[in-house]
Amino acid sequence: MGTESYERLRVERPDLFVNRAGGIEILSDPEAVAEAGGVMYSDRYITLLRDPVRFPDGSTGTYIRSVGAAPEPGCAVLPLFDGGVVLVEHFRHATRSWHWEVPRGFGEPGLPPGENAAKELREEIGAEVLEVVPLGELHPDSGTTADRVALFAARIDGVGALETAEGIRGCVTVPFAEAEAMVGDGRVTDGFTIAVLMRARLAGLTA
């Protein structure tokens, strides 16, 4: 970790270090990078960076952000089955709470997003995909992370074994209108799920 890893990341993933006119400039001076810290933490899922930057008013400082370990986007996929949508009840460590969600996962190196979505469905709810419908991309938190997430809907053949080891304890198949009602009354608070439901509605996949 540190400055060497930071410079290696700059070479391997230049898209993460693009400077645009009028924006917050990432500085490349080695002394500035060393003072900022560069790569602060990294594992198989995320890398945490502290970038040396120049703000639009000319002042300098640092900015923290996280990036996915793989350049491929993560995925969130809305399963369509039996005239409704499938939601899983998933325990999330970060919030220490149970959430109603759609299946999702990190990007897998070398795996196209659509195949990654199908893999997540097999792993989380034991479903095989009959059709995948791309629904665009999402930046889940543009203030703190560089990650992109590919959104999909997928027609599936049914629901099988749940991935209980990851904290999934149940799933339901509900009409699309009921899933939206769960958003409206606060039973669904997960941002990925809310986004993919909206994109599915805009794409006409509500029936």
Q: What is the pLDDT of residues 106-140, one digit of tens each?
A: 988 889 999 999 999 999 999 999 999 999 999 99
In this prediction the pTM is 0.92
- Other Cβ atoms closer than 10 A to 161: 11
What token pair was written down for 178?
Answer: 């009921």
Contact present, 105 and 149 (Cβ < 8 Å): no
With 0-12 / 13-18 / 19 or more C-beta atoms within 10 angstroms meaning exposed / middle / buried, residue 85 is: buried
Q: What is the pLDDT of residues 22-81, one digit of tens each?
A: 999 999 999 999 999 999 999 988 999 999 999 999 999 999 999 988 889 999 999 999
Q: Give percent of the chain above pLDDT 70.
A: 99
- Other Cβ atoms closer than 10 A to 156: 23
